[in-house]
Amino acid sequence: MTEENREDQLVITREFTVSKSLLFEALTEHEHIRKWSSPKNFDVTFSQGQLKPGGEYSYGMKSGGGPEFAMAGEYKEIARPDRLAYTQSRVGAPGPETEISITLEEREGTTTMVFRHYGFPTKEFRNGAIQGWNEAFEKLERLLSDLT
């Protein structure tokens, strides 16, 4: 795992020992998103939307007895299984609409994911996202292990 970050963006690079087709499926299919797309100590409560350019999506998260909150956005680019780009913002809360792009490159049974998240208003906001995404990607690794 490597990271290259500026105040307004984060870049996380991870390697997974699965095909890029399987990784793309895990990143985009609602049944899989429900199992990984949240920080540790959070559960995804729902995931819905249409995987197509211009399609909207949303998913919810909850930790223990805390309140549920939702994230939503629009798919901007889908180049299965190589690239995915979309917007994201927290529903009903102040904060920016950010942009996410994911590129996948497969070589010899290993897929490298480069995850870029842009548009953070502050370094603190970005740092929270770094922690949350890394915890979610640890869950993604466990899911991919279960799927293979």
* Cα separation, 133 vs 100, whole angstroms: 12
pTM for the model = 0.91
pLDDT score of 22 more than 90? yes
* Cα separation, 79 vs 101, whole angstroms: 11
pLDDT on residue 4: 57
Domain boundaries, given as residue ranges, for the chain: 2-147
pLDDT on residue 35: 96
* Region for residue 84 given its phi and psi (left: phi exceeds 0; alpha: psi -120 to 50; beta: otherwise): beta
Residues 104-127 have a mean pLDDT of 94
Residues 78-86 have a mean pLDDT of 97
Percentage of residues in the chain having pLDDT higher than 70: 97
pLDDT score of 40 more than 60? yes
pLDDT score of 120 more than 80? yes
What kind of fold does domain 2-147 have according to CATH? Answer: Alpha-D-Glucose-1,6-Bisphosphate; Chain A, domain 4 (3.30.530)
